[in-house]
Chains A and B, each alone.
Chain A
Amino acid sequence: MIDAPLASLGQVVDQWPTVAEVIAVLTLRSGFNTTVVTIGTTLFGLAAGVIGVFALLRKRAMVTDALSHATLPGIGLAFVIAVALGETGKSLPILLLGAAVTAAVGAACLQAILRYTRLHEDAASGIVLSVGFGAGIVVLSYVQANMPAGAAGLKGFIYGQTAAMGARDAVFMGVTAVISILIVVAMLKELSLVSFNDAFARVGGIRVGLVDFGVMVLVVVVTVAGLQAVGLLLVVAMLIIPPVAARFWTERLWLMVVLAGVIGGMSGYLGASVSALLPRKPAGAVIVLLAGAIFALSLLFAPARGVIAAAVRRVRLRIQIAADHALESAFESRDAESDLAVVLQRVAAQRGWPRWLTPIIRSALRRRGFAHGSGAAILITGAGLERGAEVCRNHALWTQYLVGYADVATNHVDWSVDQVEHVLSGQLIAELEGELIAKGIAVPRVPA
C-alpha cells in the first residue's frame, strides 16, 4: 500500500550526476559561481556552528529562532521603502539591512519583555517569533497584492534560494562569517566564563549583559548572512544542531567550538554541493538534513556523552555492583562460602535479580579471576574473597562515617551505604579512615 505512491516518488528521481561531476563540484572546479556559493555556504555553516555554541550554552537556542523569524518584516519593509524611493527593490544589501534592523528590534523587544514583565524566556521568544513573522506575512501579502513584480523574490528568503545566489552574495556571506568567527575567537575567554558561570564572570569584572548582547548581535548577523542560503525558517537549525551535536563529543569548550564549526561547515559544504549536483534539491533543507544526520550519529555513537556509550557504562557498573554483592555475600557467610553456584543462588534471591543476570555475573567473576573451575564445580578464588572483604569493609567504613560524622540514624544508613560501597576510591577510603580516627570513632578492621 505504501509502496505505490512512494514508487511514484521514485519516478521523479532526478538525473544522477556522473562521478566526474561529483568530483568537480566537491573539489570546487565546476564553474566560478558554484565554487563561490559552496565556499560561502561552508563559511556560513562554520560561523553558525561557532556562534550557536554560545547561544546554546546560554540556554538561548530558541531565541535564535525568534530573531530569524523577526527578519521577515524587515525584508518586506525594506523592499517597500526601496521601491518608494525609486530603487528596484532587488538590491540584496538593502533587503538584508532591513532584515537586520527588524531582527534587532525583535531582540530589543525580547529583552524588554524579560526585563519589564513577568513572562519567561519561552513566552518572550514565542511572542517575538509569531508577531514578527505575522507582521512579515502582512507586509509580504501587501507587496504581493500591490506590487506583484517584486513579491516572488522576497519569498525566497523564507526557504532560501541558493540557486539564485550570485558570486557577490556569496562573498558577502563569507566575509560576514569570517568576521563573526574572528570576533568569537577574540572574545573566547569572556564568552566561556559567561557561559559557565555568569555570577563569577560578573564578579570578575565582565559585563555579562554586554556579552549576552554581543552574542545576540552575532546571531543576528549570521542569521542575516544565511538568509539567502538556507532561508529564515531553517537558519535556526544551523545555529542549534551543530553545537548540540558537538556537545556529545566533548566536555571542553574550545573543542566544542571547533567541532561545532566543523560540523556546520561540513553540512554547508556538502549541502551546497548536493544542491548544485541535483536539480530541485533546495540547499537549505539538504544542509539541515546533513547536519541532522551528523546529530543523530553523534547522539548514538559519541564516546563522551552518546547514548550507546552511556548505556554500556551503566550496564558495566551494574554488573560490577552485582559481582561485588556476590563476593561480599560469599565473604560474609560464616564459613566463607566458596561454591559460586550456592552464593549466586542466595544473592539472586536476596536481591531479586532477574533470571538472566546470574550467568552474566558468573562469567564476569571468572573473567576477572574472582572465580575458577568449570561445570558444577566453580569456586570463588582467594582474590575473590579478598575483594569481598574489601567491599565489606567499605560498607562498614561508610556506615561508621554516616552514623558518627553525618549524624544519620543507624537504621537509615544501610540503603545509601549499599549504593556507595562500590565506588569508594582508595584515596577516599584512606581519608575516611583518617577522619574517623581523628574523631575517635572505631575504624572497622578487615575481618580476618
Chain B
Amino acid sequence: MSFSYAQDLFPLTAAVLAALVCGILGNFLVLRRLSLMGDAISHSVLPGLVVAFLIAGSRSTGAMLVGATLAGIATVALVELVKRLGRVEPGAAMGVVFSILFATGVLLIERASVRQVDLDADCVLHGQLETLAWYDAPATLAGVLDMQTLAAVPVQITTLAATLMLVVICTVVLFKELRLAAFDGALSTSLGFHAGALHVVLMVLVAIATVASFEAVGSILVIAMLICPAATARLLTDRLGTQIAVSVGVAIASAVGGYVGATLVPGVFGLDSVNAAGSMTVVAGGLLLAAAVLSPSHGVLAAGLRRRQVAKRVLVDDMLAALYRQRERGEQGVPIARLQSILAPRPVNPAIASTAREGLVERAGDDIALTATGEQAAAAVIRSHRLWETYLVEEAGLASDHVHTTAAQLEHVGINPPIDAARDPHGKPVPRAAAEDSTRPGR
C-alpha cells in the first residue's frame, strides 16, 4: 500500500493540524502543571455533544461545536468552583468533575435513541480519521493543487485550520504574558498581567482546541498531543521559544509517523490497518522516551555520563589526598591493597591507571607513590579540605569534630573558602597554595 490522495490526504492533514493546535497549547499546560486539564475537558465534552444533538436534532457540526465548547468551558468553571469552594486538591477536583460529566454523557447516550444515528462514545474516544477519505480525489499532485480541492475539504479540516490560526495568533500576541504567567504567576499579576485572566484565556483556548480536534482525531490523541510534544521539547531545551518550536516538530513527526505506522506498515505484512490516532500517541510516546534517554541536556544518558565523570574526579581527588596523608605520616609508597581498603567500596585500579597516565603517581612494584606534579595536585585537594574545615569551625560555628564529612564534599567543588590559615582545626598544617590550582587533575 502506498500514499493515495483519496485515502490519505485529508486524514493526514487533519491529524497534523490537530497535533499542531494541541502541541502548541500544551507547552503552557505542561509548564503550569495543568497537563491533565486536556484530559478532563476531552472527557467531559461528551454530555455537551449529546445535549447539543438532542436540541439540534441532527449531527450538524455547528451545533456540536457549540455544545462541546460550552461543556468544555463548564468543565473549567466547575473544576475551579470545586477547587475553591470545597478546598479540594486540583487533581482531585478535576477527577470528580470530569468523571461525573462523562458518566452523564454515557448515560444520556444510552438513554436516548441517539444510538441509532451513529453518535457513539467510541467516536469521541478514537476519532474518525478514516471517514475523512476523499472519494473522488484526483490521482496526481497537479490535480490536487487545483482550486476545486478547496470545495472538497471537509468541514473538520477547515475548523481545525481556523483553530490553528486562532491558537497561533493568541500565542504570538500573548507570548510575553503567557511566558511570564507560566513561570511566575505572582510576578505576572503584580506587573499588571492578571495571571487569573490569562489562565481563563488559556483554558478557553484548550477547550476550543479539544473540541475542534476530537471529531477528526478523537480525544485520546488530543490528550496525548496536549502533553507529549511539549514534554518532549521540555526535555530538550530550557528556552520557551525553542521549546514551542521543538514541540511543533514533534507534533508533526508524531502525526505523520503514527499515520504511516498505522496505515502503511500493516499493509506490508498483509494485515488491515490499525487505528491511526492510537498509533500517533504511541509514536509520540516513543519520541518522548527517546528524548528522555538521549537528550544532551536533560537525558538519562547524559546525566549518567556526567555523574560518572564527577565520580571519577572525586575518586582521583580522594586517592591523591590519601597518598598525601600517608606521606605526611612518613610513608613514601602505599601498597595498592591498602589504598583500596581506604577508598572502598570504589574500585581503585581505574583511578591508579588514569593518574599514572597523567604522570601524577608512579608504581614501584605493588606500591603507589606521588610524583612531584602529583604531590602538588594532592596538596591542592588537602589545602581545600583543611581550609574548608577551618572555615566551617571559625565562620559557620560548627564543632571541630563535625566538619570532616562536609569538608570532604566541599573539597571537590573546586572553590576554596574566603579564609586562610596555617593549620586546620585539628592542628594539621594547611599546604601552601601552589602557583595556581590548575595543577589539580580533571579540571
Q: Which of A2, A123, A241, A285 contacts B106 (CB 8 A)?
A: A285
Name A8's closest neighbour in chain B (CB-CB). Answer: B113
B121 at the interface (CB under 8 A from A): yes
B259 CB-CB contact with A under 8 Å: no
> Is B273 positioned at the interface, with any CB of A under 8 Å from its CB?
yes
Question: By CB atoms of chain A within 10 A, which of B54, B91, B262 has the most?
Answer: B91
A256 to B271, CA, bound (A): 53
Closest to A56 in B: B92
Q: With the chains together, A142 CA to B106 CA distance in Å?
A: 25
A328 within 8 A of B: no
Q: For the A-B complex with A56-B92, A62-B92, A155-B122 known, give 15 more contacts whose Cβ atoms are closer than 8 Å.
A: A1-B55, A61-B95, A62-B94, A64-B95, A117-B298, A131-B228, A133-B278, A134-B282, A137-B278, A142-B266, A237-B96, A244-B92, A282-B106, A282-B107, A285-B106
Contact B279 A138 (CB under 8 A): yes
Shortest distance between the CB of A262 and any CB in chain B (Å):
18
Q: Is B89 an interface residue (CB 8 A)?
A: yes
> Total contacts A to B, CB within 8 angstroms?
215
Chain A positions within 8 Å of B223 at CB level = 126, 129-130
Given contacts A116-B292, A125-B36, A141-B278, contact A234 B103 (CB under 8 A): yes
Q: How many angstroms between the C-alpha atoms of A54 and B57 in the bound complex? A: 45
Do the beta carbons of A159 and B288 come within 8 Å of each other? Answer: no
B333 to chain A: closest CB distance in Å?
43
Query: Taking CB as reference atom, which chain B residue is nearest A112?
Result: B292
A285: which of B43, B87, B110, B126 is its contact (CB, 8 Å)? Answer: B110
Taken together as a complex, chains A and B put the C-alpha atoms of A138 and B89 apart, in Å, by 34
Contact A122 B285 (CB under 8 A): no
A-B pairs with lowest CB-CB distance, top 7: A134-B281, A131-B285, A137-B278, A237-B99, A145-B272, A130-B224, A141-B275
Whether B439 sits at the interface, judged by CB under 8 Å, is no
Contact B82 A299 (CB under 8 A): yes
Q: A282-B107, A284-B106 are in contact. Are A131 and B274 (CB under 8 A)?
A: no
Please tell me which one of the listed residues A127, A138, A233 contacts residue B228 in the complex, with CB atoms under 8 A apart. A127
- Taking a contact as CB atoms under 8 Å apart, the answer to whether A116 and B274 are in contact is no
Using a CB–CB cutoff of 8 Å, the interface residues on chain B facing chain A are: 30, 33-36, 38-39, 43, 54-55, 57, 82, 85-89, 91-96, 99-100, 102-104, 106-107, 110-113, 121-122, 125-126, 220-221, 223-224, 226-228, 230-231, 234-235, 262, 266, 271-275, 277-282, 284-285, 288, 292, 298, 300, 303
Chain A to chain B contacts (Cβ below 8 Å), 20 pairs: A9-B112, A62-B39, A116-B303, A117-B300, A118-B234, A129-B39, A129-B223, A130-B221, A133-B278, A134-B277, A134-B278, A137-B125, A137-B220, A158-B125, A234-B102, A234-B106, A236-B99, A299-B82, A305-B86, A307-B86
The answer to whether A113 touches B224, judged by C-beta atoms less than 8 angstroms apart, is no
Q: Name which of A42-50, A169-177, A286-294, A432-440 contacts chain B.
A: A286-294
Contact partners of B262 in chain A: CB under 8 A: 138
* CB of A313 within 8 Å of the partner chain: no
A12 / chain B contacts, CB cutoff of 8 Å: 111-113
Is residue A135 within 8 Å, beta carbon to beta carbon, of the partner chain?
yes
Give the CA-CA distance A59 to B90 in the complex, in Å: 9
Residue from A136, A145, A289 in contact with B278 in the complex, judged by beta carbons closer than 8 Å = A136
User: Inside 8 A of B38's CB, which chain A residues have their CB?
Assistant: 126
* CB within 8 Å of B: which A56-89 residues: 56, 59-62, 64-65
Closest B residue to A128 by beta carbon equals B285
